[in-house]
Amino acid sequence: MRKNKPFFLLSIIFIFLFSSDFDRTRLSKNKRQNNRQFQVRLQSINDDQPFHLKEQRYAPDQVLVKFKPMVSDFHIKTTISAYKAGTIKKMRRSNIYQLQLPEYLTVEEMVWALERNPDVEYACPNYIVYITAVREPNDTFFDYQYALRNTGQDIGIPGSPHGKDRADIKALEGWEETEGSEDIIIAVIDTGIDFGHPDLEDKTISNGYDFANDDEDPTDDEGHGTFIAGIAAAKTNNNEGVAGVAWDCKILPIKAISDDGTGYVSWLIDAIYHAVDNGADVINMSLGFALGPDEAVPSLEDALQYAHSQDVVCVASAGNDGEPVLYPAAYDEFCLAVAATDFDDLRPTWSNYGPEVDVAAPGVRIVGCVPTWYWGEGSIPYGFLGGTSTSVPHVVGMVALIKSIKSWLSADEIMDVIRFSADDTNTGEYPGKDDFIGYGRINMEKALVPIKITK
């Protein structure tokens, strides 16, 4: 069949490696104690450069297939066997199967064949997902956190660029309304979390999961997830490290990215269902992948729709290569797409754009938590990171604060509050909503005022 039937391969759309700015020479779980030179100051991770596109788009030997509801389990098993495929697993809360292809079939050929089966609702590749970084708290490095409070200070070591006064998300004013509630849960779908980090200890709830290794230990062996979780909800006002946007809210760590910074969309789908079913109020997805004009992952959109129907707000990175918005952020109806701004309230040219962009948040030279093993024994577990990955948890933390004091709001209403309370910082050039920063850079003070913002 393969020799006689021509197939047009899908166009190569480079998948975006989100702003993990972490050096790709990773320490695996069994190498965390590797000693490095003592670090005497905060370091920039990967020289503040966000990661960009990669060539491999999907697993070369797997597909996802959803059978129609009336098809029996026996018939599904028989159909899969007829295609000489193996079942890796049936995915959570769905009639979707992850299949292992026989050696003589390509992904494109299997998808083509399955889509012509009247018992199949849809089939698609298993795409690869990549990671993408009032009362004033007394945290050691708060003065570096221009995203929360920008006074025009140096944003790093002496000689670093200066910020622009009030080019920030108005965190101090927002914290006058609330510092968050322990009842509000932030699901961070990423590389996991360093449970022993001094700014993250006692911040997590149970029921975390590692879909990359299929176990109940979502410990971070890459670094990105720890950084993202710290921006959203690090311990605050504890005389140590950094301040989190949502001081008192809890974190549900879900690992859907492996130690090389990549994962599969099947892991992401399962992670979304797990987050919702375990009480998440908002989901942070500082990750994504590209799809071509004629490509789709209906099972991912179904998972986002399920979360949305449960009033769980989903937030994802727009991307870092000056290209169209990535997925899942591009599923605009069910997900907030977040672009980046810098310390001068300007959009960096690498921040992805498109009509799906809802808002922007600081994403250049952000200071945050790194795993305690990352820099080596004796070093301080903090560093700088940039990209739309780091923009997302600022928005996610704000969602958690809104939910803390306005629990009656639906997901749609919260998404509108965030959009319509944003500062249109590029109004001189692009007045109103635009494709670059959407409605504008988020504003906690406006979003948390004790009124209900309506259209």
Q: What is the DSSP string of 217-256?
A: --B-SSSHHHHHHHHHH---SSSSS---SSTT-EEEEEE-
Could you tell me if residue 342 is left (phi over 0), alpha (psi between -120 and 50 degrees) or otherwise beta?
beta
31 pLDDT band, cuts 50/70/90, is very low
Both 146 and 93 in one domain: the answer is no
**123 is a domain residue:** yes
CATH number, position 105: 3.30.70.80
Contact between 358 and 336 (Cβ < 8 Å) = yes
Specify if 19 maps to a domain.
no
pTM for this one?
Answer: 0.84
Per the document, the length of the chain is: 455
Whether residue 89 lies inside any domain: the answer is yes
Report the catalytic residues.
Answer: 190, 224, 389
**Least confident segment among 111-120, 167-176, 226-235:** 167-176
- Indicate if 248 and 110 belong to the same structural domain: no
CATH number of the domain encompassing residue 407: 3.40.50.200
Q: Between these two residues, 67 and 9, which has the higher pLDDT value?
A: 67
Domain membership of residue 9 (yes or no) is no
Q: Helix 298-309 and helix 265-277: axis angle, to 10°?
A: 10
Mean pLDDT computed over 304-330: 97
Residues 198 and 67 in one domain: no
pLDDT at 159: 61
Per-residue pLDDT, 178: 87
> How many percent of the chain have pLDDT more than 70?
80
Residue 187 lies in a domain: yes
Residue 200 lies in a domain: yes
Contact between residue 223 and residue 200 where contact means Cβ atoms under 8 Å apart: no
What pLDDT digit, counting tens, does each position of 262-302 carry? Answer: 999 999 999 999 999 999 999 999 999 999 988 999 999 99
Does residue 255 sit in the same domain as residue 284?
yes
Whether 285 and 408 map to the same domain: the answer is: yes
Q: How many other β-carbons are positioned within 10 Å of the β-carbon of residue 224? A: 32
Domain termination site, one of 80, 110, 127: 127
The tens digit of pLDDT for each residue in 113-169 reads 999 999 999 999 999 998 874 445 666 677 777 666 776 666 665 566 666 666 666
Per-residue confidence (pLDDT) for residue 93, from 0 to 100: 75
317, 326 in Cβ contact below 8 A?
Answer: yes
Asked whether residue 7 is assigned to any structural domain, the reply reads: no
How many structural domains comprise the chain? 2
* 122 and 265 fall within a common domain: no
**Domain extent for 146:** 131-447
State the chain's mean pLDDT as an integer: 84
pLDDT at 147: 60
pLDDT number for residue 55:
67
Choose the final residue of a domain: 77, 112, 127.
127
> How far from the centroid of its chain's Cα atoms is residue 94's Cα?
22
Q: Which one is predicted more confidently, 52 or 296?
A: 296
